[in-house]
Structure 1
């Protein structure tokens, strides 16, 4: 099959959650014998950096500079349109023109939209190639994600954030419902997200293709990084609201309780574009905000305990899979472990309030044997269920279903 992938971010280098997923799926589709074509947003520097890796599995790659969307544009859309922010986030006449030309130049057997942002280009696909099957590969059930953010912000009495997410939640319900009804298949990353899509658009075809990783990349990491006696590590894009909230909550509500019993404990917030809301944490000796790092693997292997203190979200967490593959003992909220079939005390520890979370961390820091056993159990679980060798065949079965049930001409 000739398959066109539409992405908001270049899949290489694969570092963020979305790029890790897209890269893994595209590599697997190529390895299965399909021709993979890519149209993506990227700067010139990003295109140069990813060129060599993409050439290994893409028959063609075209990039368009990402649009520069100002805060005034977002405020205008918020006030004067009914469109969710995600629908407008990658609005680009250049991308639209290149997509139109690409679809006019060659026939594709399938178009796969990676993330809801790319669904804004669905009308162009329908206009240029009306009969081509389209897949919406969701990174989250986005409307449901905004619902959880709204509820958390409301409980925390952050009025502006709660109001914004309430508006986005309502608008995303309408937009995501239209998308689900307009495509041939929806891919969800978890059973919970699949249920959310079925509630949103009853009868739409939904399959679960979980997030995955190359477990071998994390099994044997560089252990030379010294983060001290009791480093607690959390990774992810620190411009992403759920991660910002998680880092702040852990530092504000949990870390002090841990240090009362383990004074040498220190919290490492590892990820790109730290939000200004995290700036006050930079003044603390027990917190280090690293900003962007070229590779999270050394931080994973240097961690005494990996923490996932998420209080809002949807989908599944690639960060958690990475840490488990690195044989790290993990403490997570249940939202942080959402979508994974795990049990407290078996593959990881689960805790949802500050006191229980701190106690779980303290217990692991005080028992090296328990840390090792939990880390090994987590690594075995991820290798058996979330390696790309296990995940990609599920996507290929969706392709087979689509081939067996073509769109009537």
Structure 2
């Protein structure tokens, strides 16, 4: 079938969890034999020829910065962008589109346009979005009021537009339960975050006592997790036993903001790297000290795919099906878990087995195909009054 895929995300390079999700959706749709017309962001100006996927035709949507009025009123949660609509029309004029997939964020305002075109929509959510915002730390009355405003806008968007989709694709059971409060549960399908196992056959020599934290540290949940680790968990005893590398975007800025430098007590900020897999593969363990967020952590799945043990808070491995994580939720328990961890034993291999059962591309390709077939059976009602040209 012909699929129109739209996202604000820049899937390439694959240096963030949300990028991995979108890029593997594209790869899997093409691997299933579908023709995909993908409208994507490209904030890092990647050469898309380097990331060419047979069966996928890319168009780039350049997102304009929000104006002050947009930020104050939140009207962007409900407004259709004329440039995006023009791209939709151009693609639909050239090709018969069987299904549209709108991936990530608050883009439900485009569902009525496709419904009027009688094109069923699969809406992809990477997390329980309004709850995600609600967890964001707010200090002071102004920040708390702003957070409350955003949560209300996001919940309004979700309840107004999400039920209009032919199907909703979520990544975890908690996310399914959240959306089932206002969407027909029969229309909600779980396709967990997943990875192509063939791309994770990375061979690196394990470095004893090397721990790794990989993240986009500009995201508040990762920054706050690092802050908790540094201020409440890490001490001289841990620094004598382990070296911890922070790998990913804004890791240097985050560590400097917290400690005043790019290294501190055997914690080193590496920064953004072209490929994250070798770092995870060489580590004795990956730590995920998260206190906020929803969905499932792709950093966790990458460690599983590379047979690297995981030490995490419960929030850090939330929604991931495995009994082989080392989980600790208090500073004292997390410190004890690290001090008793030596990187030896079968944990890495057991995590890999769990990954293959639930989070491999082969397993999730069939789940994705099932959603496509379900959506195709839905006949959108024609509601031209909701279409904005």
- The reply to whether TM is greater than 0.5 is yes
Alpha-carbon spacing, 1:118–1:275, altered in 2? closer, same or farther (3 Å): farther
1:331 corresponds to which residue? 311
Change (3 A) 1:275 1:146: farther
Q: Which residue is equivalent to 1:63?
A: 60
Equivalent of residue 115 in structure 1, options 104, 112, 126: 104
- Is residue 4 of structure 1 aligned with residue 1 of structure 2? no
Query: Counterparts in 2 of 1:123-272, with a 5 A limit?
Result: 123-126=112-115, 129=117, 131-149=118-136, 153=137, 161-203=143-185, 205-223=187-205, 230-256=209-235, 259-260=236-237, 263-272=240-249
In the alignment, the residues of structure 2 paired with residue 253 and residue 160 of structure 1 have an alpha-carbon distance, to the nearest angstrom, of 27
8 Å CA contact 1:222, 1:297 repeated in 2: no
Give the CA deviation at 1:125: 3.3
Alignment partners' CA distance in 1, 2:141 and 2:229:
21
2:329 is equivalent to residue 352 of structure 1: yes
- Superposed displacement of residue 293, structure 1: 0.4
The 2-side partners of 1:86 and 1:54 are apart by 31
**Partner residue of 2:39?**
39
Question: Displacement, 1:8?
Answer: 1.3
From the superposition, tell whether residues 100 and 68 of structure 1 become closer, same or farther in structure 2 (CA, over 3 Å). Answer: same
Number of aligned residue pairs: give it. Answer: 379
- Per the TM alignment, residue 172 of structure 1 is displaced from its structure 2 partner at its CA by 1.0
CA distance in 1 between counterparts of 2:213 and 2:333 reads 18
| 2:322–2:351 Cα contact (<8 Å) kept | no
**Counterparts of 1:287 and 1:165, CA distance in 2:** 32
Q: Deviations over 1:143-200 (max 9, x none)?
A: 1212233xxx26xx56665444332222211111222111111101001100000124
CA distance in structure 2 between the partners assigned to 1:11 and 1:277 by the alignment: 23
> Do 1:269 and 1:290's aligned partners in 2 also have CA atoms closer than 8 Å?
yes
Counterparts in 2 of 1:247 and 1:162: CA distance versus 1, 3 Å: farther
Structure 2: which 5+ runs fail to align?
Answer: 383-389
Which among 360, 372, 378 is matched to residue 399 of structure 1? 372
Q: Does 1:100 align with 2:102?
A: no
SS of 2:224 mapped into structure 1: helix
What's 2:356 paired with?
383
2: CA distance, partners of 1:87 / 1:308: 35
Provide, for residues 273-302 of structure 1, a one-character-per-residue CA deviation record: whole Å limited to 9, x for no partner: 348554233522422222210011121122
Give me the whole-angstrom Cα distance separating, in 1, the residues matched to 2:216 and 2:357: 27
Looking at structure 2, the residues matched to 62 and 197 of structure 1 have their Cα atoms a distance apart, in angstroms, of 30
Distance 1:132 1:202, change over 3 A: closer
Supply the RMSD in Å over aligned alpha carbons: 2.6
The alpha-carbon deviation at position 261 of structure 1 amounts to 5.2
TM-score w.r.t. structure 1 length? 0.84
Larger RCO: Structure 1 or Structure 2 (Cα < 8 Å, ≥ 6 residues apart)?
Answer: 2
Which residue pairs with 2:51 in the alignment?
53
Q: Whose helix fraction is larger, Structure 1's or Structure 2's?
A: 1
Query: How far apart in 1 are the matches of 2:84 and 2:78?
Result: 14
Which residue of structure 2 aligns with residue 28 of structure 1? 28
- Secondary structure at the counterpart of residue 364 of structure 1: coil
Classify 1:240/1:44 alpha carbon distance in 2 versus 1 (closer, same or farther; 3 Å): closer
Where 1:139 maps in the other structure, the secondary structure is coil
Conservation of the 8 A alpha-carbon contact between 1:305 and 1:361: no
Offset, 1:104: 3.7
Deviation of the 1:255 alpha carbon: 1.3
Give SS of 1:269's match: strand
2:342 aligned with 1:362: no
